[in-house]
Amino acid sequence: MSQNSEVTNAKSPHRSLHGRHRLDRWFVRFCQATAMVSVIMLAIMLTAVFYQGLPGFSWRFVSSAPSATPSEAGIRPALFGSMWVCGVCALFALPIGVSTAIFLEEFKPRRRVMRWFHSFIQLNISNLAGVPSVVYGIIGLTAFAGMFGIMGQTNEAAFEVGATYFDQFVSEGDRILLVPADAAGAPEPILKSGLVALTSSGESVQVNVIGAKSRLPKQADVRAVTLREDAEAGRISKKTWYYFRLPLGRGVLTGGLTLMLVVLPIVIIASQESLRAVPNSLREGSLGMGATQWQTVQNVTLPSAIPGIMTGAILAMSRAIGEAAPVLIICGIVYIGSNPSNLMDDFSVMPLQIFNWAARPQAEFHSVAAQGIIVLLSLLLSFNAVAVLIRNRTQKTLS
């Protein structure tokens, strides 16, 4: 018995080492199998998308507006809408996110109260990273689109600049006549002969008003500017590129700011990790040479952390491009036939448009949805390529 126990103890280290090596090999194979399954699933999905979308894919699809006919449907307004919204999102999210990360990592307070406040901000940022995006959509609708009801309603601007309103009539000669209005809520004009109106081409004309049951003029040019006294108009607006209003409404700016809320925690946390990875010896060397805290951040810490910050920005913008739930709450509509022309204009985005096509029962629209996915992937890869190029160039400069 004693001899068997000694033999077992003498062999156990060898078997234990062998078992650990075997376990190590199994774990490596498990990781390889998991990665392989993920790649295969991704390849299958991409193959299915390209198989369904590539046969009908053309430049006409990219440059056309949505249509009820599958063969004429295009993604141009949604493509430009995604570019506008993501541009606004990046414009606000990156400076605010990087600045917040610098404050949290490089300017840690020494006073107890301020340290508590510092920890409170850090805790909230960590929690906000896990909040569902649909919640941000509701916040954006309340805070940006309606501004908590403090400055009027979402659909009625309390203040605006860059908009001109008209009352649109159709004359007895089937000509569009636009009578200028003072404001969006101004009463309709009193129709009388000599009233000045604009045609759809911008020509100024004088309106000829006749009774409700009077005979029409025989001359075609006079009939083209003739309105009956009981004619009804529709209020329309023409907006310039700098059009701005308060509350912000359901436009591009509100969509971009809402997506900023979604990606801001990602940018902050990624930037913090990058700043934390910079060796303290660099900071101590800079401070030891007499540089101030801000000079150390500006010349030493931040340039060293830019590659990591750019990586976080890539991940954040990738998520922003693919988000649909908060945008659906903000814009509230899925059909837009024109590109956004200003920051307050209505918009749609590619994920929303693709969802609309995929949800339709006609099989032809499913192929159109696959074409939309190809455009979305192309735009996403283009954004990522530009960000990676900037990151690599920054790395070379520092080295």
Give the confidence band of 51 by pLDDT, cuts at 50, 70, 90: very high
Confidence class for position 43, pLDDT limits 50, 70, 90: very high
Task: Please check the confidence at residue 396 and state whether its pLDDT lies above 60.
Answer: no
Query: What's the distance, CA 341 to chain centroid?
Result: 16
Q: Are residues 84 and 210 in the same domain?
A: no
Q: Is 79 in the same domain as 167? A: no
Cα angle for residues 65, 68, 70 (degrees, 5° grid): 85
43 within a domain of the structure (yes/no): no
Q: Domain of 290: which CATH number?
A: 1.10.3720.10
At 321-340, the pLDDT tens digits run: 888 888 888 886 667 888 89
Q: What is the mean pLDDT of residues 54-71?
A: 89
- Half-sphere exposure for 228 (CA within 13 Å, toward CB): 12
Residues 32-35: contacts with CB under 8 Å, at least 24 apart: none
Give yes or no for a contact between 118 and 108, defined as CB atoms under 8 angstroms apart: yes
Strands (E), the chain: 159-170, 176-181, 196-199, 204-206, 208-210, 226-228, 234-246
Residue 305 in this model has a pLDDT that exceeds 70: yes
In a domain, 17, yes or no: no
pLDDT computed for residue 380 by the predictor: 84
Report how far residue 298's alpha carbon sits from residue 282's, in angstroms, rounded to the nearest whole number.
12
Percent of the chain residues past pLDDT 90, beyond the cut:
39
Count the neighbouring beta carbons within 10 Å of the beta carbon of residue 300.
Answer: 17
How far apart CA 25 and CA 30 sit, in angstroms, is 9
Tell me: pLDDT of 388 over 80: no
Does the pLDDT value for residue 213 go beyond 90? no
List, in sequence order, every residue forming a beta bridge with 234; answer none if it has no partner.
168
From 242, 258, 284, the end of a domain falls on 242
How far is it between the farthest Cα atoms of the chain?
A: 127
**Structural tokens at position 207:** 């309106």
Q: Are residues 310 and 217 in the same domain?
A: no
Mean pLDDT of 39-50: 92
Same domain, 95 and 121: yes
* pLDDT band for position 372 (cuts 50, 70, 90): very high
Amino acid, res. 66: P
The verdict on whether omega for the bond into residue 247 sits within 30 degrees of 0, i.e. cis, is yes
Q: Is the pTM of this model over 0.85?
A: no
Domain range enclosing 192 = 160-242
Asked if 254 and 281 sit in the same domain, the reply is yes
In a domain, 220, yes or no: yes
- Tokens linked to 378: 């192309």
| Mean of all residue pLDDT scores within the chain | 87
Please check whether residue 54 is in contact with residue 372, taking contact to mean a CB–CB distance below 8 angstroms: no
Please determine, for residue 1, whether its predicted confidence score (pLDDT) is greater than 50: no
pLDDT at 4: 52
- What pLDDT does 271 receive? 93
Is residue 14 domain-resident?
A: no
Say if 28 falls within a structural domain: no
140 shares a domain with 238:
no
CB 160 within 8 A of CB 245: yes
Say if residue 83 is in the same domain as residue 228.
no
Per-residue pLDDT for 258 more than 90?
A: yes
- Count of structural domains within the chain: 2
pLDDT at 152: 73
Q: How far is CA 35 from CA 254, 311, 318, 377, in A?
A: 39, 22, 21, 21
**pLDDT at position 260, please?**
94
Residue 29 lies inside a defined structural domain of this protein: no
Same domain, 134 and 279: yes
340 is a domain residue: yes
**Contact in structure between 252 and 345 (CB atoms under 8 Å):** yes
Inside any domain, residue 116? yes
> Based on the domain organization, do 97 and 223 belong to the same domain?
no
Which DSSP letter does residue 298 get?
Answer: I
| 83 and 220 fall within a common domain | no
User: What is the band of 218 on the pLDDT scale with cuts at 50, 70, 90?
Assistant: confident
Mark which of 213, 242, 271 sits at the end of a domain: 242
- pLDDT at position 236 over 60: yes
Cβ atoms of residues 347 and 255 within 8 Å: yes
Q: Among 242, 277, 305, which residue terminates a domain?
A: 242
pLDDT at residue 100 in the model: 94
Here the tokens at position 229 are 């006294």
The CA-based dihedral angle spanning residues 149, 152, 158, 163, taken in that order and rounded to the nearest 10 degrees:
100
Interval 130-183: pLDDT, tens:
888 889 999 998 999 988 888 777 778 888 899 999 999 999 988 999 999 888
How far are the Cα atoms of 66, 155, 176, 343, 398 from residue 172, in angstroms, in the given order? Answer: 33, 33, 10, 37, 72
- Residue 71, both tokens: 């063969």
Task: Write the CA distances from 5 to 8, 10, 14, integer angstroms.
Answer: 5, 9, 15
Q: Is the pLDDT of residue 266 over 80?
A: yes
Nearest to 330 by CA among 108, 182, 138, 58: 138
**Do β-strands 159-170 and 226-228 pair in parallel, antiparallel, or remain unpaired?**
unpaired
- Same domain, yes or no, for 120 and 164? no
The dihedral region occupied by 194, where left means phi > 0, alpha psi between -120 and 50, and beta the remainder, is left
Q: What is the pLDDT of residue 294?
A: 92
Alpha-carbon distance of 256 to 96, in angstroms, equals: 14
> What pLDDT shows up at residue 399?
46
Q: Please check whether residues 259 and 345 belong to one and the same domain.
A: yes
